[in-house]
Amino acid sequence: KEVTRFASYINIPELARMWLNCTHTILAKEIGEIKDDVPDIEGGGPTDIFIEQSPTLAVIMQAVRNELKRFEQMTGAQKRENSHIPLVMYGIAKRAAIEPKLVMPNAPEDKGSKLNHTIERTLKALKDSEERKGTCAIFCDNYRRNELRDGKKVEVYNMFDDMVNRLVARGVKREEIVVMKSGMDAAKKEKIFEQVNNGDVRVIIGTTETLGTGVNIQQRLFYCAMMDIPDRPMDYLQRI
């Protein structure tokens, strides 16, 4: 079935002014019944957690710097032919900072990786909130590594699956962990969110797309981890 929709907008500033002339914007924090249902964040806002760069990550970042240096030394024509390099290096650095296995399939186990820090903090949060069956939400948009094999894209590493296995190995019940996936219908999502709010599911994992929009799981939420930061500020705010 064909569907007609806007593909893009032009003259955004003018459109925004026209929109504001006929609408009134009210923020969620200004509506009492919504504000009262949203839990306060400890400390008044998100807490930045800094971890020491691991030896494996240091090797990857040095390779990224070397490639960017090589790019800077190119002529103008060469830069135009290789304009993809800065963006590719940005993606490699961003994924490697989350978990080296996202860029190096043979990367050694790294106890100091962001993945392992998130696992440890999640386990602590589950223990600290055990009495009230507190829940944990984990966000990450860069969670898998794909490779081309025989012309087909094949998934060779999935950090969400790895995370589930590590949590189960440390004593978390498998039925208390849910990974949100694209394509889930509304009824299935609502059932999962109800289980989280009831404390039957204690760890929910997903991306900004699958877990950041239209999701109300705050009833028992004790800990929320963002393993990466979306490129768009609006997506970051949507997660919160």
Whether residue 195 is predicted with pLDDT greater than 90 in this model: the reply is: yes
Q: What is the pLDDT at residue 186?
A: 87
Q: What is the pLDDT at residue 239?
A: 78
Predicted model pTM: 0.80
What gap in Å lies between CA 107 and CA 123, rounded to an integer?
Answer: 24
Q: What beta strand segments (E) does the chain contain?
A: 135-139, 144-149, 152-158, 177-179, 203-206, 221-226
What does the angle CA 101 – CA 97 – CA 92 come to, to the nearest 5 degrees? 70
Strand partners, 224: 137
Tell me the pLDDT tens digit for each residue of 13-64.
888 888 888 888 777 667 766 556 666 777 777 888 888 998 899 999 999 9
Interstrand relation of 152-158 and 144-149 (parallel, antiparallel or unpaired): antiparallel
> Are residues 117 and 225 in contact, defined by beta-carbon separation less than 8 angstroms?
no
Q: What is the pLDDT at residue 18?
A: 86
HSE-CB for 193 with a 13 A CA cutoff: 16
What gap in Å lies between CA 192 and CA 185, rounded to an integer?
Answer: 11
Tell me the pLDDT tens digit for each residue of 93-126.
999 999 999 998 788 888 888 999 999 999 999 9
237 closest CA partner among 41, 10, 6, 11: 41
179 closest CA partner among 237, 129, 234, 136: 136
